[in-house]
Chain A
């Protein structure tokens, strides 16, 4: 069942406001963060209004209600990802999830299966967001492990021609993005996952740009760990998800120590609670978790398949319209095949920052710069790009506004 983005927009109060002297808001920056529907804003604020108490503690009704709401959100996430409830760890965001893993991988006893040492190899890709590069890069530095990466072809795809030579028998971790936040490229996971598992490596998937936009099922993907952030999936900031296979989580050492995550404590030692509690030290971001539950309910109610189809169609339209503009150069795949609805580009001599500023004057919100993927933009030979990213509340009218805005910028800067 298709949905109408204009009807969807009515659920998102931010679209009621105007931008820069009364312009309609054309929000094309969901890759950075998405807008929030009323149901999410209400779920988060109702938690504070009605149910606020520290979860998993306290012998009172509010604590019970808060715990129910928080654990209910965990069930929603499990349903959303097709995983088990005890496999869902709430984090502050995807950045924390990835740091949690990278630190946990060097935090265990010497015989822990995850321990990364100087004999091991860590494999990433050249298209990673800084959040899925730097934690591994620094783990390699701390442990002496070798860091290596799949390169990106001029078409914006991973070069997998040397798959077996890259993922060697001593490879411990393969960390990669499901969908590039700059190129839009959706990576072919099956071959990578098969090779990683053949050598006993774990696959860590950054699903920040995929999980909000397409059906993502951890069983089908067959990865070992997966993370996404709530705020890119119409949920609140300050909440993210780390999913891990139950049989792996039971051996994963903790990263943050403190309350909630223990089993027993003496002055000189401590033992750990089972997952997911082991990885949720301290009082968690409860209202935000509840807000995320509402967000995923909203998305599942529309249907991830419907959202995917909508974005594929709209993404095709965006790519077609952009390529009609002379002097505009897309980075990343030119056709809507194995890619999401995000387009990064350069435009003649107009610097992205100046283009973004002009578009803003027309009410159009885009992202400019290197998009937290500096090694990638360097590889592509561009200083910076302008990025338009689409979501369920965007329609063809938004794409048309962007095109008109880009042509307007040419007149504005060219004519001066």
Chain B
């Protein structure tokens, strides 16, 4: 069933047991992103230690895809340098725009390759990207403070 390519185990696991959910009291930048077509919301805090992503915490409401995606990214990007994280971000964005033609590089994307199936469902790509766009925005703001 095509639906199984969308709802991978990894995604439902992250949805049921989200990582780094719950906003830290301190942060360098906080952003709030919404998907106006469905009302999904994510607030995301980023703390940088020099050029390293020292903390990502978030809170949000939304579908399994948007919530799992932000959970995966918070695990994946934590501890990376900003430029390493950028590489992952670009890789993930490219995967989402691939219309199902890419499987994703699991060396770079790790758990996020499970999102590959989302790219076949145009209405859900924005769900998957919501947290990533929030992160991108937050890092720019955090860097501006350095």
List the interface of chain A (C-beta within 8 A of B).
20-21, 351-354, 357-358, 361, 368-370, 374, 377, 383-384, 412-413, 416
Knowing A383-B62, A416-B7, say if A20 contacts B2 (CB, 8 Å).
yes
Residue of B nearest to A20 (CB): B2
* B65 close to chain A: CB less than 8 A: yes
Residue of A nearest to B121 (CB): A357
Whether A369 pairs with B3 at a CB distance below 8 angstroms is: no
Residue of B nearest to A382 (CB): B39
* B146 close to chain A: CB less than 8 A: no
Q: Which of B37, B41, B64, B65 interacts with A369 by CB under 8 Å?
A: B37
Residue of A nearest to B12 (CB): A416
Shortest distance between the CB of A322 and any CB in chain B (Å): 21
- Please report the C-alpha to C-alpha distance between residue A353 and residue B39 in the assembled complex, in whole angstroms: 10
* B6 close to chain A: CB less than 8 A: yes
Whether A370 pairs with B39 at a CB distance below 8 angstroms is: yes
Shortest distance between the CB of B104 and any CB in chain A (Å): 20
- Please report the C-alpha to C-alpha distance between residue A45 and residue B102 in the assembled complex, in whole angstroms: 40
Residues in A whose Cβ lies below 8 Å from that of B12: 413, 416
Shortest distance between the CB of B17 and any CB in chain A (Å): 13
Instruction: Determine which residue in A21, A368, A416 has the highest number of CB atoms from chain B within 10 A of its CB, and name it.
Output: A416
User: Among residues 1 to 56 in chain B, which have CB atoms less than 8 Å away from a CB atom of chain A?
Assistant: 1-3, 6-7, 9, 12, 37-41
Residue of B nearest to A370 (CB): B39
Whether B2 pairs with A361 at a CB distance below 8 angstroms is: yes
Q: Which of B6, B37, B62, B121 interacts with A351 by CB under 8 Å?
A: B62
User: Among residues 54 to 69 in chain B, which have CB atoms less than 8 Å away from a CB atom of chain A?
Assistant: 61-65
Residues in B whose Cβ lies below 8 Å from that of A20: 2
- Please report the C-alpha to C-alpha distance between residue A384 and residue B60 in the assembled complex, in whole angstroms: 13
* B127 close to chain A: CB less than 8 A: yes
Given contacts A354-B7, A374-B39, A416-B12, 11 further A-B contacts (CB under 8 A): A20-B2, A351-B62, A351-B64, A353-B38, A361-B3, A368-B38, A369-B37, A369-B38, A370-B39, A383-B62, A384-B40
Instruction: Determine which residue in B9, B39, B40 has the highest number of CB atoms from chain A within 10 A of its CB, and name it.
Output: B39
Q: Which of A354, A370, A416 interacts with B63 by CB under 8 Å?
A: A354
Residues in B whose Cβ lies below 8 Å from that of A351: 62-64
Whether B63 pairs with A353 at a CB distance below 8 angstroms is: yes
* B124 close to chain A: CB less than 8 A: yes
Whether B39 pairs with A416 at a CB distance below 8 angstroms is: no
List the interface of chain B (C-beta within 8 A of A).
1-3, 6-7, 9, 12, 37-41, 61-65, 121, 124, 127
Residue of B nearest to A21 (CB): B2
Knowing A353-B127, A357-B124, say if A377 contacts B39 (CB, 8 Å).
yes
Whether A416 pairs with B9 at a CB distance below 8 angstroms is: yes
Residues in A whose Cβ lies below 8 Å from that of B7: 354, 412-413, 416
- Please report the C-alpha to C-alpha distance between residue A251 and residue B128 in the assembled complex, in whole angstroms: 51
Residues in B whose Cβ lies below 8 Å from that of A383: 39-41, 61-62
Whether A361 pairs with B63 at a CB distance below 8 angstroms is: no
Residues in B whose Cβ lies below 8 Å from that of A374: 39
Instruction: Determine which residue in B2, B12, B38, B65 has the highest number of CB atoms from chain A within 10 A of its CB, and name it.
Output: B38
Residue of A nearest to B62 (CB): A351
- Please report the C-alpha to C-alpha distance between residue A412 and residue B1 in the assembled complex, in whole angstroms: 12
- Please report the C-alpha to C-alpha distance between residue A412 and residue B39 in the assembled complex, in whole angstroms: 24
Residues in A whose Cβ lies below 8 Å from that of B121: 357
Shortest distance between the CB of A398 and any CB in chain B (Å): 21
Whether B3 pairs with A358 at a CB distance below 8 angstroms is: yes
- Please report the C-alpha to C-alpha distance between residue A361 and residue B9 in the assembled complex, in whole angstroms: 18
Residues in B whose Cβ lies below 8 Å from that of A413: 7, 12, 64
- Please report the C-alpha to C-alpha distance between residue A352 and residue B2 in the assembled complex, in whole angstroms: 19
Shortest distance between the CB of A320 and any CB in chain B (Å): 28
Shortest distance between the CB of A14 and any CB in chain B (Å): 19
- Please report the C-alpha to C-alpha distance between residue A377 and residue B12 in the assembled complex, in whole angstroms: 26
Residues in A whose Cβ lies below 8 Å from that of B65: 353-354
Residues in B whose Cβ lies below 8 Å from that of A353: 38, 40, 62-65, 124, 127
- Please report the C-alpha to C-alpha distance between residue A174 and residue B5 in the assembled complex, in whole angstroms: 50
Knowing A20-B2, A416-B7, A416-B9, say if A369 contacts B39 (CB, 8 Å).
yes
Instruction: Determine which residue in A20, A351, A383 has the highest number of CB atoms from chain B within 10 A of its CB, and name it.
Output: A351
Residues in A whose Cβ lies below 8 Å from that of B37: 369
Residues in B whose Cβ lies below 8 Å from that of A416: 7, 9, 12
Residues in B whose Cβ lies below 8 Å from that of A358: 3
